[in-house]
Amino acid sequence: MQRPNPFEYQEYYAEYINQLPYTNGIMALKETGTRLKNTLLNFPKTKGTYKYEIGKWSVNDLLLHLIDCEIVFVYRAMRIARGDKTEMPGFNQDDYVQEAKADYKNLDELIDLFDKTRQLTLGIFSSFNYTDEEKTGNANGGTVSLRALCYIIAGHTQHHTNILNERYL
């Protein structure tokens, strides 16, 4: 998966994509997944419900948010790869976090779920033909390419790993 061009995604996602130094999307997924997992494995397991500030997400919330978003983005990628031109709606991340009730879950279990989700993501993106990566679809009111979704997932993970390191540890 080559790096996407700016016209292959909504401007909002540039924040995630531009912080990645990788020119290979599969490598970006592997590296950002490993980096997040290593950060979380160093986090005290009893601190999954820790919030660095009132009104902010807990560590558990943040991790389940990453899992939820990754699943949504992979689903979008699969539809694009299969030529589905149906517009895909957006979703409200804050509603998802509230409904997930992540603080009732165990941090180790969430780390394991993230790892399994990332392995599925890697398997799916690796299965796409190189001619598929420029395919586009319409998601959340804008155009997005298959390869942009790969980079968005990796960049989103990197973004939240940075937040964990800067604000939670």
Which is nearest to 10 in space by CA: 158, 155, 141? 141
Nearest to 76 by CA among 15, 13, 24: 13
Helix (H) or strand (E) holding 139: strand 136-139
Q: Are 24 and 133 in contact (CB under 8 A)?
A: no
What's the pLDDT at 45? 79
What are the residue ranges spanned by the domains of the chain?
6-168
Q: How many CB atoms lie within 10 A of CB 167?
A: 12
Q: What is the pLDDT of residue 109?
A: 95
Taking the C-alpha atoms of residue 44 and residue 53, their distance in angstroms, rounded to an integer, is: 18
CATH number, domain 6-168: 1.20.120.450
Closest-CA residue to 153 (of 68, 76, 70): 70
The predicted structure's pLDDT at residue 120: 98
pLDDT in tens, the chain (169 residues): 899 999 999 999 999 999 999 999 999 999 999 999 999 988 887 899 999 999 999 999 999 999 999 999 999 999 999 999 999 999 999 999 999 999 999 999 999 999 999 999 999 999 999 899 999 999 999 999 999 999 999 999 999 999 999 999 8
Whole-number pLDDT of residue 84:
96
Q: CA nearest 74: which of 37, 25, 110? A: 25
pLDDT reported for residue 124? 97
Residues making up the chain, counted from first to last: 169
pLDDT of res. 169: 84
Q: Where are the alpha helices (DSSP H) in the chain?
A: 14-17, 25-41, 59-81, 93-100, 107-127, 146-163
Number of Cα atoms under 13 Å in the Cβ half of residue 10: 9
